[in-house]
Each structure stands twice: as structure tokens, then as C-alpha cells.
Chains A and B, each alone.
Chain A
Amino acid sequence: GQQLNQSPQSMFIQEGEDVSMNCTSSSIFNTWLWYKQDPGEGPVLLIALYKAGELTSNGRLTAQFGITRKDSFLNISASIPSDVGIYFCAGHNAGKSTFGDGTTLTVKP
């Protein structure tokens, strides 16, 4: 089946630093989605990408849909303590979503 490779697995950064994480796949996806999950909660949608090459921002978050449709990255600028959590990418095709293994972000004040 389709698989996503998400990296890095975890990140420990200082407040104010920028963060970058990415997902790659051997398969093409029509839609890329990025979610954030806080402990004990369900994932919350951050950004949705629909077109190859699309670059979309949501506040301090920026995500891009790779030209080949096989990858996507998420950047967080000027991180703050509440950015802590697990970030998941998801590729979507034909009614089915495939999730990456997540990137656990820790922000030190």
C-alpha cells in the first residue's frame, strides 16, 4: 500500500527558532494535509494543499505541495511554546488518506 516517510521523527528547539519538517512518498497524492495533535486530543487540520507546487500559509505556518506530488513540507516560523505537539502529514487519494508517522515537536522556553 501507499506509505509516507515523515521526518524528522522528533525535534527539540528553542523558542523563537524556525522549524521544518517534510513528508515523502513513492506514490503520487492528489491532496496533502498537515495536522497537529495535542496530547489526549484528536488531530486538528492546519493546512490543506490541492495543487502541485502550491504554497499556502496559515499564520506562522507555511506548507508546500511538491511539484512531483510525492512530497510536502511544513515550516513553522518563530516557534512558541504552544507549538508543542505531534505534527502529521497525510496524503489523500480516491477517498483514502495515508498518514505519516508524525513529528514530535518540543519547544524550550
Chain B
Amino acid sequence: AQSVTQLGSHVSVSEGALVLLRCNYSSSVPPYLFWYVQYPNQGLQLLLKYTSAATLVKGINGFEAEFKKSETSFHLTKPSAHMSDAAEYFCAVSRTGTASKLTFGTGTRLQVTL
């Protein structure tokens, strides 16, 4: 069975500050890991994915995440937050990557303040 834990249902940062959203996973097989972003009243958009290649993954909008097997983590970071980054972020894991259901964390709402 696979699961994802996102620590912190709400995170608030100042504009220009570092963004760190935490994700830990549990998987009995090598996982495929994803971060999605959801803006209000919209569907989910893929930010980045880990598919067993490079452990440091760069995504859209300046976000990146590092796969750390020893810590079973896949935390999402961005060096400098923008107001437009305010949204809900979901970490997800799948068993095989393609044609496989995603198991999501409960999400972290990011607030960016002036």
C-alpha cells in the first residue's frame, strides 16, 4: 500500500521568502512522486514529477523538489515566493507511474503575504 503525508495544512510566507512544503511517502515499491497545484475553482496542474531519474527535479514556476530515499521525503521548495503562488498544493504517489492511480496527500494551502 502507498500513502502520502503532507505536514502542515496551512503555510504562510512573506513575498520573497523561501517556500518549503513537506511531503513524506510510504511505498512498498520504488515510487513515482508528483506535486500538483490547485488554484481556486480550477483543476489540478502538474508542477513536477520524480520518475526515478535525477533526484533533484525542477518544475514549472520556479519550483523544485528533491527525492530523498533515506528520509522517504519529496519536499517542494521555491527560493522566492510570489503572490501568484498562493494556492493549494498536493503531493501524490503512484505505483508504476503510467496508467496508475494517484494517491494524494491532504494538501497544503500556501498563503503569501506582503
Q: Do A and B come from one complex?
A: no
